[in-house]
Amino acid sequence: MLPVVSRASGVFVFDTEGREYLDGCSGAINVNLGHGLPDITQRMHEQLDRVNFVYRTQFRSQPLLELTERLVDLAPGDLNHVEFTNSGSEGIEMALRLVTLLHARKHNPLKCVVLTEEPSYHGMTAGALGASGHPLRRKDLQSLLANQATVTRVRPKNGALRASVEDWQEAVDRIGPARLGAVIIEPVGGAASGAAPCDPEVLRFLRHAADERRFVLVADEVMTGMGRTGRWFGCDHAGITPDVMVLGKGISAGYAAISAVLISDRIVRALDRPVSSLVFGHTMAGAPLAAAAALAVTEYLVTHDLAARAAVAGEHLAGLLKRLCQRHPLVKDVRGTGLQRGLGLHGDPERFPGISLDLTEAARAKGLLVYPAGCTPVTESVLIAPPLRSTDAELDELARRLDGALSCLSPTPVS
């Protein structure tokens, strides 16, 4: 049975029995500033006292206007238009609506094929789940996923964790420019691949192909965005600007539910109406309280240059994890970028998912939270992704507890 939470502060969460847990995965890789940061909670209280809700078709709000400006400033290239939703899944759903409407309005309704990668995870709403390359999560839900006829998945070859340029090239050529409407890609993988990074050459290839063949390149930066990987956005590692970028998790760092879809000038120009009148939103989308939280989070991230901190801390963490990999035969490899890391695990293919859940449980018993990941025996892993403000001493403590948990599962570590 799950423990009942009592309170949380910084990288620590406490349950009602008084047990302490070091949050080694920032909740669901979203609590990027740690818990209970007064810089954020105070701004939220102030906003609550002013106005908590107005509907987006009736009023604009100051925090939302400022948040929009901040995101546009941070984002690469011409991603100058922002629409808001409440979750990463809704953001992906909005991107899918946008792509479909764009091609329909340009009289290209046949450009409806959406190419994604397996492994990938794009969310749980029907369109996003339909696009996901996470067979476990799609299992038994096929009848709900209306876009199965139009989604095609690229699969890496030869046991690789991510698809290569050749794999993508083959898929893009096979579908052809008359039918390919969009590609959705995670610059660094999350729940499906255990933080396997995309080769920057793949992102550069897709950018080039999208320009040449007029499809929309959508970057799913729900997990990678806002500094997690050591750059502000995962695409920055490849130096490319996607046409659409979906942000979630780190944008509000767990303080409120909000996500954002950033859209390039090129796409906005290609539509013959204001984007807001086309893609529609949800009741709570961009409401002032969530906007104030996300604005405070974004300002904190920028003021403290936490993307740079994630890069440095990420190297320290990777060193600690590599040592665990050498010590514990159970650990196959260390994956990831910045503070989005994964430990690949040697599991039993007959019992999947198995070892990732066992390790998550053993870690919890040692007072450490990690996130089980992987959608096949090859990708089975745990995500290690602590808050970006973690100190080196906290990362050392994380590794010490993880070592203890691994020792429980493979009792003969190499010393």
Ligand X SMILES: Cc1ncc(COP(=O)(O)O)c(C=O)c1O
Residues at the interface with ligand X (CB under 6 A)? 28, 87-89, 92, 121-123, 186, 190-191, 220, 222-223, 248
Question: How far is residue 164's CA from residue 206's CA, in Å, rounded to a whole number?
Answer: 11
Which residue lies nearer to ligand X by CB, 259 or 399? 259
Measured between alpha carbons, how far is residue 72 from residues 60, 81, 216, 262 in Å? 17, 7, 19, 8
**Exposed/middle/buried for 170, CB within 10 Å: 0-12, 13-18, 19+?**
middle
CA-only gyration radius of the chain, Å:
21
Place of tokens 């303080």: 255
Which residue lies nearer to ligand X by CB, 88 or 314? 88
Kindly state the smallest distance separating residue 397's Cβ from ligand X, in Å: 25
Kindly state the smallest distance separating residue 320's Cβ from ligand X, in Å: 23
Which residue lies nearer to ligand X by CB, 380 or 394? 380
What is the three-class DSSP state of 152?
Answer: strand
Does residue 86 contact residue 122 with C-beta atoms inside 8 Å?
A: no
Which residue lies nearer to ligand X by CB, 170 or 199? 199
Kindly state the smallest distance separating residue 88's Cβ from ligand X, in Å: 2
Residue of closest CB approach to ligand X? 88
Question: How far is residue 309's CA from residue 198's CA, in Å, rounded to a whole number?
Answer: 22
28's enclosing H/E stretch is helix 26-29
Which residue lies nearer to ligand X by CB, 250 or 401? 250
Which residue lies nearer to ligand X by CB, 26 or 68? 26
CA 254 and chain centroid, separation: 13
Kindly state the smallest distance separating residue 249's Cβ from ligand X, in Å: 6
Helices (H) and strands (E) in the chain, counts: 14, 15
Kindly state the smallest distance separating residue 223's Cβ from ligand X, in Å: 4
**Six-digit token string for 369:** 């939270």
Kindly state the smallest distance separating residue 50's Cβ from ligand X, in Å: 26
Measured between alpha carbons, how far is residue 296 from residues 29, 48, 157, 199, 255 in Å? 19, 14, 43, 33, 10
- Give, rounded to a whole angstrom, the gap between the first and last alpha carbons of the chain: 34
Which residue lies nearer to ligand X by CB, 156 or 399? 156
Which residue lies nearer to ligand X by CB, 220 or 243? 220
Kindly state the smallest distance separating residue 155's Cβ from ligand X, in Å: 18
Kindly state the smallest distance separating residue 117's Cβ from ligand X, in Å: 11
Which residue lies nearer to ligand X by CB, 167 or 186? 186
Q: What are phi and psi of 233, to 5 degrees?
A: -135, 150
DSSP-derived secondary structure for 373-399: E-SSTTT-EEEE---TT--HHHHHHHH
Query: Smallest Cα–Cα separation from 317: which of 406, 388, 245?
Result: 388
Kindly state the smallest distance separating residue 87's Cβ from ligand X, in Å: 4
